[in-house]
Structure 1
């Protein structure tokens, strides 16, 4: 029987941020499966070696060791077998030049990591609610940055 849970993947090297994200997912719903990886090399290895378990959405930190989020998005979007996976940038910084570059590279949304747990839950809920719309509508600069 096929798993009907929405598979989310978080690639982030900050353990506290990963724990908060996991706790937020647990509180939002039990209909999600979450995979957490701690650097870009792990992410790319997982995507290449586990094609049967590709995530429905990738939440991607930019500043990670070994391979940055920007390097990962370039590789993912250049791959015929991976380019369809929506990528949500999940980063501490909010540099509008970088944000525009990421949009041009094919990211679907950008979230500046919220400091408060309720805001983390709020932005994750917004992304999940946009998921079906993202698949149905073209990406837009107007709704690229998701605020709590």
Structure 2
């Protein structure tokens, strides 16, 4: 049984990023947090990093350079990457985009709340499920 030790956050909005980091501090999260601010950084992370301990990708759809939807498509066709849980955390309420996210392998789609307290509750629920409750497959492979 494997428990995650690392979270990757793909978020370019500094205000949202600060809220996420604040929520992690509030819940005293014991995990390594890596932050990328655009899709190109995200792709490079997977090319250059051992993903063995990665338990969650928190993905914004509106990333510069390579958007979140294109990232999902890349994960979906990769036998290793598609095993990593991806939670799309977006301000979009576009139903068609949400459907596409699930079609491309997103494990969950969550709309970012406007209420700061709700924001923290949602981050707590996400991390509780994906890092404490969920069991991940063991995988060791090079990602290209």
| Common fold by TM > 0.5 | yes
Structure 1's unaligned 5+ residue stretches are 137-148
2:20 alignment counterpart: 21
Greater helix fraction, Structure 1 or Structure 2:
1
1:72 alignment counterpart: 71
Instruction: State the TM-score, normalized to the length of structure 2.
Output: 0.83
Number of equivalences: 133
2:58 alignment counterpart: 59
Alpha-carbon shift at residue 79 of structure 1 (Å): 1.3
Structure 2's unaligned 5+ residue stretches are 137-144
Instruction: Pick 1 or 2: higher relative contact order, CA cutoff 8 A, min separation 6.
Output: 2
Instruction: State the TM-score, normalized to the length of structure 1.
Output: 0.81
Alpha-carbon distance in 2 for matches of 1:94, 1:32: 29
1:24·1:117 contact (CA, 8 Å) conserved in 2?
Answer: no
Alpha-carbon distance in 2 for matches of 1:110, 1:41: 21
Alpha-carbon distance in 1 for matches of 2:52, 2:33: 11
Alpha-carbon distance in 1 for matches of 2:91, 2:32: 24
Q: How big is the alpha-carbon RMSD for the aligned residues of Structure 1 and Structure 2?
A: 2.0
Spell out, residue by residue over 1:84-105, the C-alpha distance to the aligned partner (whole angstroms, 9 max, x if none): 1000001111111111111111
